[in-house]
Amino acid sequence: MSDLIKHHVLKDADTEITVLSMGAAVKEWRVDGQNCVLGFTDPESYRHNAHFLGAVVGRVANRTAQSTFDLDGTRWPLVPNDGPHHLHGGPGGLSQINWDLDAVSDREVILRHTSPDLDQGYPGEARIEVRMTLKEGALTWDMRVEVDRITPINLAQHLYFNLTGGAHIRDHSLQIAAQSITPTGADLIPTGDISPVDGTRFNFRTPQILSEIDPDPAGYDLNFALDKTSGPNVVLRAPNGKELRLWTNRPGLQFYSGAGLSAQAPSSGVAHAPFAGLCLEAQDFPDALHQPNFGSILCRPDAPYHQRTTIDIRQT
């Protein structure tokens, strides 16, 4: 198989999205000509994508404490890449893979990858398909995984959004339909609790301008337990009138405000500095392999994994 990084452009009305085979990454998302995500000018930069810009991450997104888990009486060591912990599938996870790319049409692209047994320490083979479909300005990730034995799966898209193309996202307004969070310790590993957001700086049940709710700024890197709702799970608004809405069938959403971003070769003139973009990562709960009350992320041969997440960006 060629190691050439392929790309495909999805087009629909005023929306144009560039998808790469490397990391199954969204490189650009243009609405009325303006790019709304952070990315690299050179596709080759995605081979060394330390901040996971635009990529699909896994096999298990977010953090797994101490890079190990027990399954059916066997302890499975994973490859650490966040101190002693395992983050976003490890140093050789899905964001570092050059996927097979099938350009179906100007509104659909399919990316496929087979992760072999013991890849990054995970048991079993995982056959992964990510179908991205653009319809009426909304991009849907339909992510499916089939496995040949019981193994954990938890995928996430890791785009960094900046709806103005400005220096930072602290003038954006954010609303998350979530009454609870899964708090963490200083190492960002969940404590196992599920805590209400009432009376805290994590209460985004009504729209909050980031610079006002987090004036310091301390930033955010935390999983929200999403409410069951008929409307969007997330609404992000910018001063220029652009609005993002997100729907997902997953129970959690990691909100990362990008405090750890560092300068790299950016696209569209937006420097990759702290708070230059924010992530809204639909997912199952982090460190679920160690927290029984977080729900199971085990995938079985007779119960394939399926995530469906849709993000719409438009001018209001």
Give whole-number Cα distances, 307 to 52, 164, 236, in Å.
Answer: 19, 28, 21
* Type of residue numbered 298: L
| Tens digit of each residue's pLDDT (9 = 90 or more) over 27-60 | 999 999 999 999 999 999 999 999 999 999 999 9
Distances (CA, A) of 98 to 2, 65, 127, 237, 289: 9, 27, 14, 33, 27
Largest CA distance in the chain: 55
**Domain 7-170+255-315 CATH assignment equals 2.70.98.10:** yes
Q: How far apart are CA 10 and CA 20, in angstroms?
A: 11
Query: Is residue 158 among the annotated active site residues?
Result: yes
Q: Which of 158, 168, 172, 272 is catalytic?
A: 158
CA distance 54 to 46: 9
Would the pLDDT of 268 be above 70?
no
In the predicted model, is pLDDT for residue 265 greater than 60?
A: no
Does 281 qualify as catalytic in the annotation?
Answer: yes
The pLDDT score that the predictor gives to residue 166 is: 87
Residue 1 — very low, low, confident or very high, per pLDDT cuts 50/70/90?
Answer: very low
- Kindly name the residue from 16, 28, 129, 281 that is annotated as catalytic: 281
CA–CA separation, 102 vs 273, rounded Å? 33
Bridge partners, residue 126, by sequence: 115, 147
231/20 Cα distance (integer angstroms)? 30
Q: Which of 142, 125, 95 is nearest to 282 (CA)?
A: 142
pLDDT of 267 above 80: no
Q: What's the whole-number average pLDDT of the chain?
A: 96
Three-state secondary-structure class, residue 281: strand
The predicted-structure confidence for 155-197, as pLDDT tens digits, reads as follows 999 999 999 988 899 999 999 999 999 999 999 999 999 999 9
The mean-pLDDT minimum among 1-10, 160-169, 236-245, 299-308 falls in 1-10
Tell me the whole-structure pTM to 2 decimals: 0.96
